Amino acid sequence: MIFVLTGAGLSAESGLGTFRDAGGLWSRYDLEEVATPRGFAANPHLVHDFYNARRANAAGAAPNAAHHALARLQAAREVMLVTQNVDDLLERAGARDVLHMHGRLGGALCADCGARWEAPLVMSPDDPCPECGAAATRPDVVWFGEMPTGLDEIDAGLARATLFVALGTSGTVYPAAGFVEMARAAGTPTLELNLEPSGGRFDDGRYGPASEIVPGWVD
């Protein structure tokens, strides 16, 4: 089983911003204000503006050759696709069972009762929860300080993977950034696919734009 962890670099060539590259999202927004529970409590409208802008950007974007290559890989081999990305470009490229460990732009969550539903393109904190009616609507994404999704499934996948691939991620955010070390500890070969080396410890690496190196690796 091939375990693939993807990050913002997978969707960069589809026009979705990365976080830490020059001009990235964290250079234009204060992470504390838009990607933490505290930031949401302080200014829910600013947080919704941030995610509404990204949701509109993602809706207007198209999967690139790397997304399609991963969908082809999944059709040919046993692949566990774990993404830190909140866009749905992998699904739109035909990938299945994508594990969004940091949540999804397309998801809405009630901060009061925990109900989840499919998000409209534009969300507001005043949208009433369809379950409890509270005006406590938030994006269903994992903010800093919150528990990522699917960690048990991820641990089980890392334990039985025959190859670990990190694709388009800077290896900055934990626990995702620690997966390569978990793979190494399990004796699993590790491969990095990125624009440039991220500094993580990988047995092998292929470097260049994802839309070129991912099809090259898959096909």
CB-CB contact of 213 with 206 (8 Å): yes
- Interhelix angle 65-76/210-218, nearest 10 degrees: 20
Please give the Cα distance from 95 to 217 (Å, whole number). 17
Nearest residue to ligand BV8, using CB?
Answer: 9
Q: Is 102 a catalytic residue?
A: yes
Stretch 20-49 residues interacting with ligand BV8 (CB under 6 A): 20-21, 24, 35
Stretch 84-143 residues interacting with ligand BV8 (CB under 6 A): 84-86, 102-103, 141-143
Residue 10 is labelled as binding a ligand: yes
**Residue from 37, 94, 209, 215 binding ligand BV8 (CB under 6 A):** 209
**Residue from 22, 28, 118, 174 binding ligand BV8 (CB under 6 A):** 174
Residue 207 is labelled as binding a ligand: no
**Residue from 173, 182, 184, 203 binding ligand BV8 (CB under 6 A):** 173
**Residue from 94, 195, 206, 217 binding ligand BV8 (CB under 6 A):** 195
Q: Both tokens of residue 93?
A: 């490229």
Site size for ligand BV8 (CB under 6 A): 38
| 63 belongs to the binding site for ligand BV8 (CB under 6 A) | no
